[in-house]
Structure 1
C-alpha cells in the first residue's frame, strides 16, 4: 500500500508540475485554457475556477491542458438556427442558448442569419414572432454557449492558441518540460539543505550501527590523518585503503577535538560485482551549506540530464534495446524498491523521473511537446505555419504509435516482473 501511495503521489506531482507550466504560460499569453487535467479517460474529480475546469481522470498515464483553438470549436451557429440570447448589463450577449430554450423564458429568441463569434463578435438574425427586420447583437468577449444544461465559454480569436506570437506559443509548450527540470533542481536543493552534499574531505561521516568503525570507537566528524602511517587527505584515499584491506587490521590516526588518537579497525569483507572488498560501515562526510547547495543542485540536475541523454543515444545507435525501457509498471516496481530505502532516496528518485519526463517530452516526436516545438521551428524557418490539418494528422499518427509503444513496454514489464 505504501508503494501505491508513493507512486500516485510522485506521478501526480510530476504531471501536475508539467501541466502547470503549460497552464501558467498559456494564461500569461492570454490563451483561454478550457481544462487542466491529470490523467486521461473518465473524470473522477472536477471543479471549475475562473475560466478553467480542473479534473482528475481515471487513467494515470499523463495529463493535458486543453487550450482554445487547438481543436475545432465544438459549436458553430449556422444560418437558420434558432437560438436564445441573454444579455449582460452593458447590453451585450453573454449567453447563447443553443437548445432546451424553453428553460430560459427570459431569453430573446432569434433565427440566425449570420454569426461571427471569433473576430467581429456579432450575431445577426430575425427575432421570432416579430417583424422580419434583420437585427445585429454585439457579443461579449466572455460569452457562453448553453447546451444540454452545460455552459461552454466562447473563445474569440484573440483568446485562441493560434492567434499568439510564435514566441508565446513556443513558451506555452516548452514550459511543461522546463518545469520538470526546475522541479528536479528544487528537490536536489532541498535534499542538499536537509541532508547535505558529499564532500571529498578525509572526515568520518555517519556511522552504521553494525559497522566495524562504530565498534572500534570512531565518531562522526573525526578527521583521518593517516592509515597505517600512510597519510591521507581525501575521502577517496580513505576508501581506497579500506577496500583493499578486507579482514586486515588497520591503524587509523585520528584528530578529534585537537587530540591525536590511534584507533585499530579491521574492515569486514564484502562482495560487490564479484569483487571482494573491505568495509567499515561509514558514509561519506556531508556538508550543509545553502550557498554551496545551489550550484551542486544545478550540477546534479545537469549530470543526470546528460546520463539520460547518453542512454537515449545508445538506443538510437542500437546499443539500447526495448527490453531496457520501462513503462508505468516498471516505474512502479522501481518505486517499490526505492521506497524501502527511505523518504530522501524516494525524493531523489522523483527528481530523476522528473528530469526523464522533461527530456522525453522534448524529443522531436509527434504528439509530444518536442514534436510541436519542431513544427514551430519549421514555422520560424518558413516564415509561415504548417497547415493545421497536416500537422494534426502527424500528431494523431504519432500519438497512436506512442500508445502502441507504451502497450509493448507495459507488456514487457508485466512479463518481467509478474510472469
Structure 2
C-alpha cells in the first residue's frame, strides 16, 4: 500500500469521526452546553486552537477516534451550561446526534451516487426463458414486494435474499402486477454453469440513466419522479446497510463469526487503501467512487454500532438517560461510572485483540 493510500485512508477515517463528533458538538451548543474540547484523534495533542467561547479544537496523534468533551459530562456539575444540568430529552438529543449525523452523511453520499450513476429498481426488466422465474410466472413490469416474508424496497436486498438459497430450496415471492394485482410465486434457483452460481433468471429495471440523462431525454417533468426514486433508493439502501451491520455484530457476540472477521483501525485503513488502489486500475473516478463507498459503509457501521447499549458507547448513555427519565432520578453516578469503566476496559481489550488480528493479516 502506497503512502498516498495510507493518507487517504486516514483522511476517510478522520472525516467519519469528525462528522460523528460534530453531531454531538452542534446539538450540545444548540441546547446551551459548554463544549470544553472538540478533538479529532486520540493521544498527545499535535495542534490546537482555543476559540472565543473557550472551546479547544485539537488534532491528536493517533487517528483512531475523537471526542467532544462537555462540561459536566462525566460528573454532576451544578453550573449553567453543564451537560448534567440539562433535561433528559436534551441530553439524549446530544448523545443521539453523533450516530444520526453518520447516517445523514451516508444518506447524502448515496443520494449523490443515485444522481450521478442512476439506480436499480425493484421492477422486473427481462425474464429469461428456461429459468425458474419464467416458469413461475414472473413477467416484465412486475414489482417485487417480498421474498419469503421479507419486505423488499431495494434490488440489493432482493439479490441478498435470493443468494441465501440453493438448488432444491423453494423461494416464495409476492409481486405486484402492472395492473395492480398481487400474486404469490414459487420458484427454485437453478445453477448456471457459465456463471458458477445459482440464478433465478431475471433482471431489474434501472432508473434509465443518471439525473442529467433523464432530464435531457424526458424533460423537467421527469424530475419529481426521479428525485423521489433517488430519495427512496438512498433511504432503503441506508436501512439495508444498518440491517447488515446489526446482523454482523449479533453474529460476532454470539460466536457465529470470530474476531478475524472484524477489522479495527489498522484493518480499516488497510481496506480503504486497498479499495482506493484497486479503483485506480480503472481510473481515478472509480478510485474516488470506491473511497466514498467506504465512507458510506464505515459511517453506517460507526453510527449503528454506537447505538448498541454497550458501556462506553453512545447507546449505553442513552439507556441510562432513559432510565433516569422513567425513574425521575438519575442512576447512582458511582454505579454508572463503574459500568462505563468496565465497558471501556473490555472495549480496549477487544480493540487490542482486533489490532493483533489486523497486524497478523498484514504479515
TM, length-normalised to structure 2: 0.69
- 1:2 Cα offset (Å): 2.7
Of residues 218, 241, 244 in structure 2, which corresponds to 1:307?
244
Separation (CA, whole Å) in 1 of partners of 2:84 and 2:127: 67
Mark the CA change 1:227 to 1:381 in structure 2 (over 3 Å): closer, same or farther: closer
- 1:235 Cα offset (Å): 12
- 1:270 Cα offset (Å): 9.3
Separation (CA, whole Å) in 1 of partners of 2:34 and 2:112: 34
Separation (CA, whole Å) in 2 of partners of 1:201 and 1:22: 40
Separation (CA, whole Å) in 2 of partners of 1:366 and 1:201: 44
Asked if the contact 1:226/1:232 (under 8 Å) is kept, the reply is: no
Give the unaligned 5+ runs of structure 2. Answer: 144-191, 211-225, 280-285
How many pairs does the alignment contain? 279
* 1:354 aligns to 2:357 (yes or no): no
- 1:416 Cα offset (Å): 1.7
Cross-structure match for 1:374: 319
- 1:337 Cα offset (Å): 2.8
- 1:227 Cα offset (Å): 8.8
Partner of 2:310, secondary structure, is: coil
Separation (CA, whole Å) in 1 of partners of 2:267 and 2:302: 15
Asked if the contact 2:246/2:305 (under 8 Å) is kept, the reply is: no
Separation (CA, whole Å) in 2 of partners of 1:170 and 1:68: 16
Cross-structure match for 1:410: 355
Separation (CA, whole Å) in 2 of partners of 1:37 and 1:271: 53
Separation (CA, whole Å) in 2 of partners of 1:183 and 1:307: 18
Of residues 78, 85, 93 in structure 2, which corresponds to 1:171?
93
Of residues 186, 194, 203 in structure 1, which corresponds to 2:116?
194
Partner of 2:66, secondary structure, is: strand
Separation (CA, whole Å) in 2 of partners of 1:353 and 1:225: 35
* 1:183 aligns to 2:105 (yes or no): yes
Partner of 1:159, secondary structure, is: coil
Query: Residues 119-152 of structure 1, C-alpha deviation per residue, up to 9 Å, x if partnerless?
Result: 7xxxxxxxxxxxxxxxxxxxxxxxxxxxxxxxxx
Taking the TM superposition and a 5 Å limit, the aligned residue runs for 1:150-229 are 157-199=79-121
- 1:174 Cα offset (Å): 0.9
Mark the CA change 1:403 to 1:232 in structure 2 (over 3 Å): closer, same or farther: same
Of residues 3, 6, 10 in structure 2, which corresponds to 1:4?
6
Separation (CA, whole Å) in 1 of partners of 2:332 and 2:139: 67
Cross-structure match for 1:329: 266
Query: Residues 333-372 of structure 1, C-alpha deviation per residue, up to 9 Å, x if partnerless?
Result: 2212321222112211210110000111111111111111
Separation (CA, whole Å) in 2 of partners of 1:411 and 1:235: 50
Partner of 1:158, secondary structure, is: coil
Asked if the contact 1:35/1:55 (under 8 Å) is kept, the reply is: yes
Mark the CA change 1:416 to 1:284 in structure 2 (over 3 Å): closer, same or farther: farther
Cross-structure match for 1:296: 233
Query: Residues 44-78 of structure 1, C-alpha deviation per residue, up to 9 Å, x if partnerless?
Result: 121122321111100111111110112469xxxxx
Mark the CA change 1:158 to 1:197 in structure 2 (over 3 Å): closer, same or farther: same
**Two-structure CA RMSD over aligned residues (Å):** 3.0
Cross-structure match for 2:33: 31
Range with bigger deviation, 32-41 or 344-353: 344-353
- 1:311 Cα offset (Å): 1.4
Asked if the contact 2:16/2:102 (under 8 Å) is kept, the reply is: yes
Mark the CA change 1:335 to 1:270 in structure 2 (over 3 Å): closer, same or farther: farther
Partner of 1:57, secondary structure, is: strand
Partner of 2:80, secondary structure, is: helix
Mark the CA change 1:405 to 1:200 in structure 2 (over 3 Å): closer, same or farther: closer
Of residues 53, 56, 70 in structure 1, which corresponds to 2:56?
53
- 1:184 Cα offset (Å): 0.6
- 1:173 Cα offset (Å): 0.8
Separation (CA, whole Å) in 1 of partners of 2:124 and 2:350: 49
The runs of 4+ residues in structure 1 deviating greater than 6 Å are 200-203, 224-228
Taking the TM superposition and a 5 Å limit, the aligned residue runs for 1:84-99 are none
Asked if the contact 1:14/1:354 (under 8 Å) is kept, the reply is: yes
Separation (CA, whole Å) in 2 of partners of 1:71 and 1:225: 60
* 1:22 aligns to 2:24 (yes or no): yes
